[in-house]
Structure 1
Amino acid sequence: MLFHDRTEAASQLIAALPQRIGPEWIVLGIPRGGVPIAAAVARHLGAPLDVVVVRKVGAPGNPEVALAAVTGPDPSQRVDNAALRRSLGLGGQQVEAIAREEVAEVARRSKTFADARPPLSLKGRHVLIVDDGAATGTTLAAAVRAVRDQGAIEIVAALPVALSHGLDPLRGLGIEVICPHPSEPLAAVGQAYTIFDQVPDATVTETLRGSLRP
């Protein structure tokens, strides 16, 4: 185990942040597990906190493995795990059909969190995207694309741990990646934590309500 829990993971991540990242940045947590870590980072920086809602599209027969990731209302607008898609012999329309359920969940969560507090504008802002780990990197890549589409002028991704090839989809995206443990030989992100409990929607909404606003 690398971390006792997300609190310890956040401490290691904070220690790895470059000094140029400060209170003028917006910190975005990926719900739900990335939000407690993002909240700790935002408190440390004195920066505002928000979320970027992304959902993993699990592979048929192995839902823990990301076949794709979606961030919005259109299942055709997604980031695919191209190597896995090819190995399963799936076409784009087949992945789109599998993704529809997760698109609906993105819409539900987005409304839930927006009802708790209106989302921040990212246009012209420096944005730090935070998650609790990356297995394939597909979810983070989708989050980066969504944030870029909203007009952020600089994006940095920060996460405590990534599995062996978990950062590969972020290469070539033109962003900085901060990860204290970037290539761990683990079968799942949860294996890096002694305590890796589920984070409910209610915790995310409470965290958003109590966080700093610009």
Structure 2
Amino acid sequence: MAGHKPEFHDRRAAGRRLAAVLAPLAAAHPLVLGLPRGGVPVAFEVAKALDAELDLLFVRKIGAPGYEELGIGAVVDGAEPQLVLDEDIVRQLAPSPNYIRTEMQRQLAEIERRRSSYVGGRAPVEVAGRTVIVIDDGIATGGTVKAALKGLRKNRPARLVLGIPVAPGDSIAEISPECDDIVCLARPEPFHAVGAHYAVFDQTTDEEVVRLVREAACFGRSHDSPGRMAALRDSRGPAPR
């Protein structure tokens, strides 16, 4: 893409720009949820600017029987994990309820393993009744983010907002019914790929996620109960292997 100038320097810079637009939500004491791994540096900057609680949101695909690359749904992390199924594909393939139940449990176990490696014993933050901002570093097709929003909606947040630095317009249009508001800073056409819109798009490491989550433990402290903040302060998990 000769002559193309990336919209953002890196994920942290994108997060700061996103935070400036999301700033009016600070008064609602929102919960910011970052999608690991690339969404976490972006979410960190938003949570920091809004003095908002930061947590991670894991989404794991459920593959079709014998064709794991074909997703029939997803499991969405949270205080109350949710199963989101693609009803059209499920009707076509008719997987057994036992298969779906077994795969859901398998993916929940993987979510728990990953959550433990990033945040130790800290449980997912409850979203019911809260303003929740879901953050990723960008959207291509939007399948993961769409599943995340569908799952979160089942847990009854007061307001569900998606914050994205960059995405194609058609993906935003498809996702918009799943949340109350979308803040997307850039909708370039042609889109190509998320990384094409960053000058620096290195892989976010497990160690960086752990460090940012620990550093964010103090965010939103003035709005939270002493008990929860003590738990956040004391939560320490091993670095991922």
Query: Could you tell me whether the CA contact under 8 Å between 2:34 and 2:55 is conserved in 1?
Result: yes
Deviation, structure 1 residue 136: 1.2
Aligned counterparts of 1:201 and 1:116: Cα–Cα separation in 2: 17
Query: Could you tell me whether the CA contact under 8 Å between 1:23 and 1:45 is conserved in 2?
Result: no
Q: 1:191 maps to what in 2?
A: 196
- Which protein has the bigger helix share? 2
Q: 2:158 maps to what in 1?
A: 153
Which consecutive unaligned segments of at least 5 residues does structure 2 have?
A: 1-5, 225-241
Match of 2:140 among 129, 135, 141: 135
Deviation, structure 1 residue 208: 1.6
Query: Could you tell me whether the CA contact under 8 Å between 2:9 and 2:200 is conserved in 1?
Result: yes
RMSD: 3.5
Deviation, structure 1 residue 129: 0.8
Q: 1:22 maps to what in 2?
A: 27
Query: Could you tell me whether the CA contact under 8 Å between 1:116 and 1:205 is conserved in 2?
Result: no
Aligned counterparts of 1:121 and 1:69: Cα–Cα separation in 2: 20
- Cα distance 1:6–1:79, how it changes in 2: closer, same or farther (>3 A)? farther
Between structure 1 and structure 2, the one with the greater Rg is 2
Q: How many residues align?
A: 207
Q: 2:93 maps to what in 1?
A: 91
Between the two proteins, what is the percent identity of the paired residues? 34
What do residues 139-175 of structure 1 show as CA deviations (whole Å, max 9, x unaligned)?
1111112222333111111010002422133232241
Q: 2:76 maps to what in 1?
A: 71
Match of 1:5 among 7, 10, 33: 10
Query: Could you tell me whether the CA contact under 8 Å between 2:166 and 2:184 is conserved in 1?
Result: yes
What do residues 16-72 of structure 1 show as CA deviations (whole Å, max 9, x unaligned)?
2252443611111111111111110011011111111124579999x7x98854425
Aligned counterparts of 1:116 and 1:171: Cα–Cα separation in 2: 34
Matched, 1:115 2:120: yes
Aligned counterparts of 1:26 and 1:134: Cα–Cα separation in 2: 21
Q: Which amino acid aligns with 1:194?
A: A
Aligned counterparts of 1:195 and 1:69: Cα–Cα separation in 2: 30
Q: Which amino acid aligns with 1:108?
A: R
TM-score normalised by length of structure 2 = 0.69
TM-score normalised by length of structure 1 = 0.77
Which consecutive unaligned segments of at least 5 residues does structure 1 have?
A: none
- Cα distance 1:169–1:199, how it changes in 2: closer, same or farther (>3 A)? same
Q: 1:173 maps to what in 2?
A: 178
